[in-house]
Amino acid sequence: CEMLREILPEAEAGKCCLTVESFSGLTADFAKRKQATAIVRGIRAISDYEYELRMALMNRRLEPEIETVFLMAAEEYSYVSSNLMKQVFTLGGRVEGLIPALVEAKMREKLKK
């Protein structure tokens, strides 16, 4: 979340309509407080779907008026996760083309510290 907050202003300055907020508690409660009509979730593989479906069904039970929308990852990114990218990067592996250049630059900065 912290890295996203740092990167968003630099990424497509003026064109990005995203905000990043951290919260504790239930996602459905947070979405309701924000007057959201949908929760958008990304799915890479079947294992993601099983977990996300359970979460979506519980969120629907808690807040029936808030929909969950699933977006499928492109095939070439179906195995990419933040944990995997951090591990590969930290061990000196190449991550070009798998993460945005801005993210890679921030990771490089953190690694130097």
pLDDT tens digits for range 28-38: 999 999 999 99
Q: Is the pLDDT confidence value at 53 over 70? A: yes
Q: Which residue has the higher pLDDT, 60 or 5?
A: 60
Q: Write down the mean pLDDT value for the chain.
A: 87
- Measured between alpha carbons, how far is residue 40 from residues 49, 66, 105, 110 in Å? 13, 11, 27, 29
Locate the domains of the chain by residue range.
25-74, 80-113
| pLDDT at residue 101 in the model | 85
